[in-house]
Structure 1
Amino acid sequence: MKYYIIAGEASGDLHGSNLIKELKKQDAQADIRCWGGDLMQAAGATVVKHYKDLAFMGFAEVLMNLRTIFRNLDFCKQDILDYQPDALILIDYPGFNMRIAKWAHQQRFRTTTAPTPATTQGSPAGGPAFRIIYYISPQVWAWKENRVKQIRECVDKMLVILPFEKEFYRKWNYDVEYVGHPLVEVIDGYQAPAGAIPAFSKPVIALLPGSRKQEILKKLPVMLKVSESFCEYQFVVAQAPGQDQNFYNELLAPYPNVATVTNQTYALLQTAQAACVTSGTATLETALFGVPEVVCYKGSNISYQIARRLIKVKYISLVNLIMDKLVVRELIQDDLTPANLRRELNTLLQDNSRRQQLASDYRDLRHLLSQGGHASANAARSILHYLRELSTANHPPRPTSLP
């Protein structure tokens, strides 16, 4: 079968590459064309657009590059029509991928008076016959919940990676399939390169302050201040590869005993006794490595007040959201102070009952995220079963009408 996969970020390239490997294992005739990166290309796909050419962050940068964004959309649409895949597989990246999903749905059910080179036999109204599959749902459960209506209308099959997403979509009368979280297999298969982390003489505490300059400036100074109270530990900052070294040098100048690593976050987590982690996917990665952690968030007051009103979740950490309870402590905005962080870090390092409870919760978390095997294999199996079932039934899709 022919697959057209769109991933627009580094994480999508990683998870897309593992999906491609599994599709090729399970479908010997798999022909895969994609938007992605080096990992997806190494897995055997033909990359037509690299995700690095798509990375426009922030409102101003998006506005400045609108012409390029629209050109990319037009190119993508024509490339899909020329390729004529059996399945269009969208990986996260909702700003771009939801536009493609909407267009693809409209193409498939458009009215034509005569066949065109882009049409295929058996498609309704002469439109393309490819199925639209979404792998790794947009986080509509956090904000912009009304996007579910468009997802229901445009996406034939949704594969979700967080267990609570299945229940979330059920209340919208939309049946989705939970396949597990792809980070489990990534971390299971990780092996640190030789010499990735220096052989420190003290136990290590990892500092993961994020990747964007503004969030680093808000959180890293608080984390660094706490290092003065734990002289028996080696603090190590995971530097974001996109930031200039001089940026970190200025922040770290008053703390000569704090070390840094770049592009070695997983190797750092493998050695750490505890971690201070900015909110986001890193909180889940830290938990899957079994490292006791405290979750840190601090933004500008305006951004925080806006986020409080828009985001509809009980927790900011994926660990707590998945487990639906407070597994790891969250220090948010005004609560993120050196005193509070020092107190929580000391508990994580010294309180054996707390560490044992965390270890138990982390085991339950891993079990929840790996039910039925690894996510990539589950997703590939589900996609192939779905496509083959449709092919056997010769059953064309019908337009979705929402109540």
Structure 2
Amino acid sequence: EDALRQQEQVLSRRRKVIEEYRIKMARVQTQLQEREQELGRLADLKKQIASDRETMLAEKRSLAARLEDRARSLKDVRLKVKSEESRILIQKRHLKEVETEYDHTRQAFAGLQGKVNDLQTRFRAAEERIHRNELVLAEVEQGLAYLKKTAMDRHRADIEESCDKWRLFPFSPDEAEKRISEITSKIDRLGPVNLAAVEEYRELEDRWSYLNSQKDDLISSIEDLEQAIGRINRTCRTRFKEALDSVNKSLCRVFPLLFKEGSAKLNLTSSGDILDSGIDYLIQLPGKRIQYLNLLSGGEKVLAAMALIFAIYFIKPCPFCLLDEVDAALDEANILRFNRFIKKISEQSQVVLVTHNQKVMEIADVLYGVTMEDKGISRLVSVDLVESPGS
């Protein structure tokens, strides 16, 4: 039995040794597989490196070819630059010659201009002399026409037919003096002659007609303006009344949003012409009587003014609404109502609000702040407070 137990112990030890050998063999096989995989990876890496080497050699050859092309292009460009510089030098010399020729031409033109001015002066003097002679001739012709008309109207005599009778042949001084005396007496009986009377009468008649036409035009213009002013005033009264009613209706909706209760309206200061009347802003807060805006506290004034502004705004809303520190005078309770009101506005308009109040900042979708980390250098910082759907 002792020998059997010893044999079993020996057999047990040998089994353990065999098990250890099996474990070591499994480890060796695992390591062998890992080494084979590593060899495969290194072979793939070697192929990749060889492929990359071929690619880089090809790129190197391509870059060398491109470099040669660029060198040839640079040489051509340098030749073109030299050619352009030569052409520019030629153009500059030509420009200098043209400028010299222009100076000579300008001097010659200045001399000719002086001669032309002298000729123009002489021509204007000749025109003035001709004009004066024409005026004298016109006066003479007008005087002759007046004499012909006067002789015909008063004496039924044609001066042109009587001219032959006035000629004295042969000439006798005594007879000439007698004839002169007769003509002088006839001229004295005619009285002084105003040769310009007909022309003056025509000028005055034309002036009178012109002034009458101007008077009629002014009267017609005044009537048209009065009618236009009447139409404008009627339109203004109608539109002003419609706008006032619209603002009051909008104010009835907006005012309770900023105040828990209460009401407000706009009233005319007089019952006369609506265009000459002023407007009172009447406000009735909860538990108080109707009062004017200037009797409210600071925060109430801000909210009431804001209610009026947004009542006008809601009549024709615009895409953007810009507010600059309108919440500065509001306390915490009013800030909460202000925030609710801003959220309502943001449903139909994009609100841009400048504020220093943290409670107001909490309702914003995006915050933009200006910070100065270094002296004199400002930086804009933005924070998006709206969570994206995937976050």
TM-score (norm 1): 0.18
Structure with the higher helix share, 1 or 2: 2
* Higher-Rg member (1/2): 2
Structure with the higher strand share, 1 or 2: 1
